[in-house]
Amino acid sequence: MTVSNKVVQHCQTALFDTSVKYDTMSNIPLLPLRSTETGILDIEHGAKKKQILMKHRIQDNASELMQTAIDAGIKSGWKERTDKLDEELNIQPQDYTKSKETFKTHATKRINNLFRKNIEHKGQGKSKVQHLKCGQPNWNPGTMKEYLIKMTRNEASTIFKSRSRMLKVKCNYKNMYKNNLSCRACGQTDETQDHVLNQCNQIHTNNSNKVRPELYFNEDVTELRKVAFNINTQ
């Protein structure tokens, strides 16, 4: 899905506003959470992508001066860093003979795979990231979730917080409520997200507004709007 920079900025800002104030006190791994939803590369992997594409562009068109600089063998210089990147991405010399578009597709796929691997590594042992991964195990770097583009900022924020277990319930922020995790509505059990959205008999007198995880992990925007409304009115 191709989106404008303005839309990307809107989505990133929406996610930032809804989560950053909890980052320090709750030790929330924001990068893995945002990346699975926006599909946007972080600065590190974006730079690697630009570097490898630049190498392809100048492979056959470098000026004599540029080629001399590239071949100078400066320790930790551009050539050494790029050679290491080739090794990291398993890009072979013959790959650089491919056309611009073919090479770009090939390199982008390799960068995205590396990005996903690193993001999932950073999320190991983080319950919020694991919750998000279980709900959508096949997320693809480079692919922005449709709800971030088509839903209102408030609706998208609600769905993001539900998927990443960042709704304002006690067990999502145990460090803030470690002395008392009991449900504020019924007082009968711990106030988990699933309890609040789906189980509490004081909140849910019938089944009409119960929200199960599979509902907020749904990708149908029309259905997600209903889910966001139900969550926001509980």
The string of pLDDT tens digits covering residues 103-112 is 999 999 999 9
SS3 88: helix
Residue 161 has pLDDT above 70, yes or no: yes
Per-residue pLDDT, averaged over 139-149, amounts to 86
**Alpha-carbon dihedral of residues 189, 193, 198, 199, nearest 10 degrees?**
0
Find residue 190's DSSP bridge partners.
182
| Rg of the chain (C-alpha set) | 22
The string of pLDDT tens digits covering residues 8-55 is 555 545 454 544 444 433 444 566 677 778 888 888 899 999 999 988
Q: Are 76 and 37 in contact (CB under 8 A)?
A: no
Find residue 182's DSSP bridge partners.
190
Amino acid 196: pLDDT: 96
The string of pLDDT tens digits covering residues 188-203 is 999 999 999 999 999 9
The string of pLDDT tens digits covering residues 87-97 is 999 999 999 99
Weakest-pLDDT range from 12-26, 157-171, 217-231: 12-26
Q: Are 203 and 189 in contact (CB under 8 A)?
A: no
